Amino acid sequence: MFEQARQLLKKYYGYSSFRHGQEQAIQSVLDGKNTITVMPTGGGKSICYQIPALILPGTTIVISPLISLMKDQVDALVQHGIPAALINSSLGVQEARQVMAEAKQGEYKLLYIAPERLESRDFVEDLKSMPIPLVAVDEAHCISQWGHDFRPSYLNIERIVNSLPDKPIVLALTATATPKVREDICASLYIDEQNSVITGFERKNLSFSVIKGQDRYAFLKDYVKKNAAEAGIIYAATRKTVDQLYERLRKDKINAARYHAGMNDTERISEQDRFLKDEATVMVATSAFGMGIDKSNIRYVVHFQLPKNMESYYQEAGRAGRDGLDSECIVLHSSQDVQIQRFLIDQSSERARIQQELEKLQLMVDYCHTENCLQEYILHYFGDHDTASCGRCGNCTDSRASVDVTKEAQMVMSCVIRMGQRFGKAMIAQVLTGSKNKKISDFGFQSLPTYGILKEKSAKEVSDLIEFLIAEELLAVQHGQFPTIYTAAKGKDVLLGKQTVHRKEAVKTRTVTNDDPLFAELRELRRNIASEEKVPPFVIFSDTSLKDMCTKLPLSDGEFLAISGVGEHKLKKYGDAFIQAIMQFCENNPDRQPEAGLVPPSTKKVKKEVGESHFVTLEMHKTGLTIEEIAKKREMAITTIENHLLQCARDDQAVNFDLLIPDQFKHLIKQAVAEAGRGKLKPIKELLPDEVTYFMIKAYFYWSKEKVGVEE
Ligand code: ADP
């Protein structure tokens, strides 16, 4: 049986081996045992039920609480060539009925449903008439009142599953680690705790870091600009900060989207869509964003403000790097955030829970101050003590030089004491830099010996220094209506000359960007195909697959199939388009050639390898079918069919251009070519209405027998 599972993994998903825990979970299900699988986000939980669904006869039901996630999952399955569908509130009554009728005919291997569906009696009756070998309960922690997303309708699952004539196997899946939640899931779904598959919680491709005592907006801007080609999320604690950050980033010419609960549904959905489709690279959001976001190529998650606890932090940060590629998770810490979080806890928590929430907040603050491995801190927090330093995080890799700032620290602390320890950071910085502000003279601070003692520095620099001293716990913040600063016990030792202070240079921003030009081209191709097919780009191929293509430079079907994430269906659908793009790139970049042993690139090879295919397209084209119709019939991407027809045109085959370029556009294209010249396609495209595609312009050149040697 397991050999079959392995073959299916290769055939449909294009992966050559199972990840840690997957094999065990699949085996347990195939042995007919109710099972619980606990893996971190991105660990590969979906395959644990999808492979058994392919093996077992009948339709597997997947219960998932998140509508957007369901859609992405179904899109991804269809892309793999696996028949799947969903039923949730996003469908109309008629549509839902249609899907259910098809499901009853056995047309789907997997049917995703929202838990609320189980409350419908008709629906449950329908289920009773279907062969259902397996029920997968995704996000199973929703069953527990101890979890953070309790959903009462999850409590119905066991009763309904029990009422089905052939009692299905139940597989519960979650990323939530706490033993209490796990116990609840097992009790509720009748899972023997022995049938637990729990992998470690370490995310080996994530590097964590905390930046403190630095200008955070400056850091953020620099970071986002350096990683402009990559997708990232910036979390802020309040809606107001999200709006402010969004405006500032836009002003700084950064293509940001935003998301928070204060926006209306339409706006939120459209912003989320821009991000999912890689149209906006940065999402600025409150914690309202991210549940059910399956986007696998998020390269960084920055918390602009302190998160409220480690649970939320690991969940939010964990949205980075689901595809397994290196990604970064950064907290930009400033002491005033503690105040904001305290305020939020005060506002939103029930009285009884406030103390508990404050304790959790403190552990989050401690995370920002630890000098030990950050990944290890997180794992310990979640109860995993069998760990070692990660060697990747900001603390493990910190090699910054440090300078002695004892004298400046003494000046600041002495000033704080002389001002009566009842003022905030801004006022202290003003006194130290000798500001002429009226408020300062009102308090008589200009006569303090520390007035203007750091006047060679800017107020911003002194403010950063104060922030650093707070981070070092030499100064402390008294949280009240306005936070005030006082000298902590440790600071007094510095004032007495018993201890010195060393400050490290500012942390420099890094890039997680992949600057390979071929990667950029393949990403563009993926984006075009995704927009034709109305699915997010990561559903077509993950970044991991594109990167593998950049390394292996596949030029034939066989080689393309060896790429991680390329199964038979995707080879058929997208192979030609990607192989062509890679081949073109290799021809234009002679220094980039496939490893020895592979046949060198040549157009001849394209004809040899994929030649049959474009003739098939040509025959269908001759019968008068449109490009879309051929793509649909052949289950190939539109881009692939377009490429086939261009190849035929290049080879002087009888292509019917009237089917490729609508008459009304021919004249417009002619005018645009006359105006922009024939050097590049882009200036021509810019002169034309959006409906005129690059393909039409290229086809136009063949039609008008113009020279084609133009680049986009
Ligand atoms: P989870 O639900 O645990 O967050 P997913 O099931 O979405 O994770 O998987 C995360 C990513 O890992 C997906 O892009 C998936 O295709 C990939 N993946 C899963 N299993 C494997 C495997 N055996 N080999 C390579 N990639 C895998």
User: What is the gyration radius of the CA atoms in the chain, in angstroms?
Assistant: 30
DSSP conformation class of 18: P
How far apart are the C-alpha atoms of 306 and 339, rounded to whole Å?
Answer: 10
Ligand 1: distance of its center to the CA of 461 in Å?
45
At residue 343, what are phi and psi to the nearest 5 degrees?
-60, -45
Interacting residues of 403 by C-beta distance below 8 A, sequence separation 6+: 502, 503, 505
User: Which single residue is written with the structure tokens 């590097």?
Assistant: 207
**What kind and span of H or E run contains 173?**
strand 169-174
| Whether the model pTM is above 0.85 | no
Atom of ligand 1 nearest to the CA of 296: 14
Pocket of ligand 1 contains residue 50 by CB under 6 Å: no
Answer for the pair 463, 473: CB distance below 8 angstroms, yes or no. no
Q: What integer pLDDT is reported at residue 597 of this predicted model?
A: 45
User: By C-alpha distance, which of 172, 144, 181 is closest to 382?
Assistant: 181
How far from each other are the two terminal CA atoms of the chain, in whole angstroms? 50
Q: What integer pLDDT is reported at residue 702 of this predicted model?
A: 85
Interacting residues of 43 by C-beta distance below 8 A, sequence separation 6+: 19, 20, 21, 175, 199
Pocket of ligand 1 contains residue 538 by CB under 6 Å: no
Ligand 1: distance of its center to the CA of 303 in Å?
25
Atom of ligand 1 nearest to the CA of 17: 23
Mean pLDDT for the chain?
A: 89
Torsional class of 81: left (φ above 0), alpha (ψ -120 to 50), beta (otherwise): left
User: Cα separations (Å) of 140 from 39, 59, 64?
Assistant: 12, 20, 9
3-state SS string for 622-656: HCCCCHHHHHHHHCCCHHHHHHHHHHHHHCCCCCC
Q: What integer pLDDT is reported at residue 349 of this predicted model?
A: 65
Residue nearest to atom 18 of ligand 1 (CA): 44
Answer for the pair 317, 329: CB distance below 8 angstroms, yes or no. yes
Ligand 1 site-directed mutation target among 9, 10, 19, most atoms within 8 Å of CB: 19
**What kind and span of H or E run contains 62?**
strand 60-63
User: By C-alpha distance, which of 517, 515, 611, 595 is closest to 559?
Assistant: 595
Q: Which residues in the chain come in under a pLDDT of 70?
A: 1, 147-148, 177, 349, 480, 513, 595-611, 706-712
Pocket of ligand 1 contains residue 43 by CB under 6 Å: yes
Atom of ligand 1 nearest to the CA of 39: 3
Pocket of ligand 1 contains residue 542 by CB under 6 Å: yes
Question: What are the residue boundaries of the structural domains of the chain, listed by start?
Answer: 2-198, 206-381, 403-503, 517-655
Ligand 1: distance of its center to the CA of 329 in Å?
20
pLDDT tens figures, 457-498: 999 889 888 988 887 889 988 876 777 899 999 999 999 999
Answer for the pair 103, 130: CB distance below 8 angstroms, yes or no. yes
Strand pairing category for 231-235 and 84-87: unpaired
Pocket of ligand 1 contains residue 12 by CB under 6 Å: no
Q: What is the DSSP string of 554-593?
A: --SHHHHHTSTT--HHHHHHHHHHHHHHHHHHHHH-TT--
pLDDT tens figures, 516-566: 899 999 999 999 999 888 888 999 999 999 999 999 999 999 999 999 999
Q: What integer pLDDT is reported at residue 606 of this predicted model?
A: 42
User: What sign has the CA pseudo-torsion 162, 163, 169, 170?
Assistant: negative
Interacting residues of 696 by C-beta distance below 8 A, sequence separation 6+: 660, 661, 662, 665, 669
CATH architecture of residue range(s) 403-503: Orthogonal Bundle (1.10)
Q: What integer pLDDT is reported at residue 588 of this predicted model?
A: 84
Distance from CA of residue 211 to its chain's centroid? 21
Q: Does this chain's domain 206-381 share its CATH topology with 517-655? A: no
Helix count (H) and strand count (E) of the chain?
A: 32, 17
CATH classification of 206-381 is 3.40.50.300, yes or no? yes
Ligand 1 site-directed mutation target among 15, 51, 325, most atoms within 8 Å of CB: 15
Pocket of ligand 1 contains residue 541 by CB under 6 Å: no
CATH architecture of residue range(s) 517-655: Orthogonal Bundle (1.10)
How far apart are the C-alpha atoms of 351 and 345, rounded to whole Å?
Answer: 10
Pocket of ligand 1 contains residue 322 by CB under 6 Å: yes
For the segment(s) 2-198, the CATH number from 2.40.160.20, 2.40.50.100, 3.40.50.300, 3.30.465.10 is 3.40.50.300
Q: What integer pLDDT is reported at residue 147 of this predicted model?
A: 62
